[in-house]
Amino acid sequence: MPQFRAKARAVDLLGKGQISDLPTAISELWKNGYDAYGDVLEAYIYLSGYENIKKPLFILQDDAKGMSRKDILEKWIVLGTDSKTRNEIDIKGEDTLWKEPRIKMGEKGIGRLSVAYLGSPMLMLTKKRN
């Protein structure tokens, strides 16, 4: 059966269409970090001229559970995943970093589209715990 396909440009267009402004883009990504059981969610901006930086640099980081290569390829980079809409309840354990289950903050899978709004290029560094 034929399947829909999209180029990276479509994600860029969708991100810029779904995200209205910078605070929304950042908050959507912070929601993703919170949903991944992060407690420390930080944003930094370094402007041109600071310590030899030639172009503005925006860094968003958290201490959440991280993603494996499989998570990135099968969940994060795939638009329209339904993992948050299936109403599955997390169970306290390794996947929740031994924290009590949280009510999910992110919705509609638009957090990943925020990256397109924030700019290009993007470098993601992630490591799944253990």
The total number of structural domains in the chain stands at 1
Q: What is the pLDDT of residue 129?
A: 74
Q: What is the pLDDT of residue 15?
A: 66
| Dist CA 119 CA 109 (whole Å) | 18
Pairing of strands 57-62, 41-46: antiparallel
**Residues with Cβ within 8 Å of residue 61, at least 6 apart in sequence:** 41, 42, 43, 44
pTM for the model: 0.80
Lowest mean pLDDT among 13-17, 29-33, 97-101: 13-17
In a domain, 64, yes or no: yes
In a domain, 47, yes or no: yes
Give per-residue pLDDT as tens, 58-99: 999 999 999 999 988 888 877 766 665 566 788 999 888 999
Q: What is the pLDDT of residue 44?
A: 94
* Domain enclosing residue 97, as ranges: 8-118
CB neighbours of residue 120 within 10 Å: 8
In a domain, 1, yes or no: no
Q: What is the pLDDT of residue 80?
A: 66
In a domain, 123, yes or no: no
In a domain, 45, yes or no: yes
